[in-house]
Amino acid sequence: MTFHLPSRVSITVEASDDDLVERAVSGSVTAFESLVDRYYRRCLRFAVRQLGSREDAEEAVQDAFVRAYRSLGNGGRPQRFRPWLMAIVVNRCRTYRAKNRTRRALIQRLSIGAAVRRAAPPERIDGDDLSPALAHALSRLSPGLREAFLLKHVEELTYEAMANATGIRISALKMRVKRAGERLARELESAE
Amino acid sequence: MNELDPRLHAAVARLRELPAERDTARAALRACIAAEAMETGRRSATRSRGVVLAPARAFLIAAALVLATSALWLSVPGLRGLRAGPPGPATARTPVQPVQFVLVARDARAVAVVGDFNDWNPDATLLAPGPGGVWSVVVPLAPGRFAYSYVVNGDEWRADPVAPRETDDYGRPSSVLFVSSTEM
């Protein structure tokens, strides 16, 4: 029996997260960049929806990846890369939001002029890629409810991973997801 | 658990769409990673060239450096603002550096420092008053770049007079701090 093999055989096996993490820990920038390629847009999706600003989201995600790279360089080996990375992104988003909120509050207290107040708009959700109604409905959720809803139904994390990322108990997270869903549905219905 | 309300299926499908990435943002991220990789390489190279000391001798040298550094701070009354504090306990896995924030504010009733490291929370890090209107606090920080500012009497935002400044998102000046990963 004769087998005729093709002259070229091309097999592409995508490296697993664990493989890439292991190589990144060993100092491979290329491996880490592969992880960035794999997860950048997912992280950006969460950050844009949560922060409501493309610029803040890009900055928070950049910061998160740099911190992740630094942590791997220091020998950190997450059990599962994506939930670990999302936890960093969640915390960077909280920091960026808190920073902006505190600065807005300080500026309002200082009453430092109309020009600066104009530069500090109220929180809103960037509707670049969302319908205005959906962007508005999302902006009506409190940051805690929005965060829980996005992590559960958009990023599709388990409640265990969400609890690790947010530091909030699973029972409380379930309640937040439920309330966020109800509120979002009401807002969308009232917008129709 | 927490099944998605059918009324939200369309909205969630829209929310799950991945946003387009911008070339400028990815380029900035690549540059940051490259810079971090270079810094990591420098740290590794520095460590590999390090002098090996017997523990007792290393302790004596470290103690002498701490005393010399503390004396320097105490002997220069004009120095204000930010300085690296004395080295903390050796913790190879958590390379934080104690950083001392100092502000001379004789008119102040309360001083806080706000920055990237405490979510810009004016209640998080209060400075303690000292003689001559010198307020200070020591904060452990990981290596990196931090923007920060002082909040005096709860509502007056002051940039550090002796640190590099940057203009924040809303046009107010704040200061910039670089914490190195220098190891003793």
Cβ–Cβ gap A102/B2 under 8 Å: no
Residue type, A65: F
pLDDT for the residue A139: 92
pLDDT in tens, A156-170: 999 988 887 877 778
Cα(A53)–Cα(B44) distance, integer angstroms: 37
Q: How far is CA B69 from CA B64, B96, B103, B177, in A?
A: 9, 18, 19, 19
Instruction: Indicate the average pLDDT of chain A.
Output: 83
Cβ–Cβ gap B120/A98 under 8 Å: yes
Which chain B residues are closer than 8 Å to A44 by Cβ? 18-19, 21
Which chain A residues are closer than 8 Å to B183 by Cβ? none
Complex ipTM: 0.81
pLDDT for the residue A76: 74
- Distance of residue B33 Cα from the nearest chain A Cα, in angstroms: 6
Cα(A64)–Cα(A146) distance, integer angstroms: 20
Angle of helix A17-25 relative to helix A54-73, nearest 10 degrees, comes to: 70
**Could you give the angle at the alpha carbon of A117 between the alpha carbons of A115 and A122, nearest 5°?**
140
* Nearest CB to B17 within list A73, A129, A153: A129
Cβ–Cβ gap B120/A134 under 8 Å: no
Interface test with A, best of B16, B91, B149, B155 (most A CBs within 10 A): B16
pLDDT in tens, B2-21: 688 899 999 999 999 999 98
Interface test with A, best of B3, B9, B26 (most A CBs within 10 A): B26
- Does the predicted TM-score (pTM) go above 0.80? no
Q: What is the pLDDT averaged over residues B91-116?
A: 82
pLDDT for the residue A164: 76
Q: How far is CA A111 from CA A123, B110, B155, B174, in A?
A: 19, 20, 10, 17
Q: What is the pLDDT averaged over residues B73-102?
A: 49
Q: What is the pLDDT averaged over residues A135-154?
A: 94
- Closest alpha carbon within chain B to A47: B19
Comparison of pLDDT for B100 and B94, the residue scoring more: B100
Is residue B61 over pLDDT 90? Answer: no
Burial of residue B95 (number of CB atoms within 10 Å: 0-12, 13-18, 19+): middle
- What's the per-residue H, E or C state across chain B? CCCCCHHHHHHHHHHHCCCCCCHHHHHHHHHHHHHHHHHHHHHHHHHHCCCCCCHHHHHHHHHHHHHHHHHHHHHCCCCCEEEECCCCCCCCCCCCEEEEEEEECCCCCCEEEEEHHHCCCCCCCECEECHHHEEEEEEEECCEEEEEEEEECCCEEECCCCCCEEECCCCCEEEEEEECCCCC
- Distance of residue B40 Cα from the nearest chain A Cα, in angstroms: 7
Nearest CA to B155 among B125, B120, B111, B104? B111
* Nearest CB to B21 within list A40, A69, A73: A40
Cα(A104)–Cα(A35) distance, integer angstroms: 35
Q: What is the token pair recorded at B132?
A: 């001559």
